[in-house]
Amino acid sequence: MPNTCYVRLWVLKTKFMNKDRQRRIAAQKMFKLPITNFKELDLTIAPFVPKGMTKAFRNTRYTVMIYENSPTTHGNAIRVMVQKHNDTAILNHWSEMQKIKNEIFGEETTAIEYYPAKSQLIDDHNIYWFWIFPENVLPIPFT
């Protein structure tokens, strides 16, 4: 007779693997479609909404999660998470992030990527973040 604990772990692992596999298959199907404009998701009917997330957008390549009141050392800012549906790295990263920022927040919005100290680094997935601060919070270099 198998160990009950082992059987439970196997069932949990199988459920997780099936969800992950289903997500990969769905992503493969989406990547065969043309790239679409972002559409805002209705968070009131979403099965799961991470704490603090205020908006989310999705197209056939990316999911964008927005946290509009993220605390910083200089007041609140908008924190934006971008992830490809297949959880792979974003090729042409800079230009893709620029396109996403422009489409959702506008071409004249300034956003920054934050590269933390090694002691604060969390890099578990191919997830990209950018921040939008209120006007006059960030020093803007002359061009």
Instruction: Dump pLDDT digits (tens) for 38-56.
Output: 999 999 999 899 999 999 9
Residues 25 and 84 in one domain: no
> What is the rounded end-to-end Cα distance, in angstroms, of the chain?
72
Residues 74 and 104 in one domain: yes
The one-letter code for the residue type at 39 is K
Cβ contact 41:57 at 8 Å: yes
pTM value is 0.80
The model's pLDDT over 45-96, given as tens digits with 9 standing for 90+, comes to: 998 999 999 999 999 999 999 999 999 988 999 999 999 999 899 999 999 9
| Element counts in the chain: helices (H) and strands (E) | 2, 5
Smallest CA-to-CA distance from 82 within 96, 68, 102 is with 96
Cβ contact 84:30 at 8 Å: no
Residues 99 and 62 in one domain: yes
Report if residue 140 sits inside a domain: no
* Cα torsion 102, 105, 108, 110: sign: negative
Range of the domain at 53: 34-132
Residues 12 and 64 in one domain: no
Residues 52 and 122 in one domain: yes
Q: What is the CATH number of the domain that holds 118?
A: 2.60.40
DSSP category for residue 112: B
Residue 10, phi then psi, degrees to nearest 5 = -65, -40
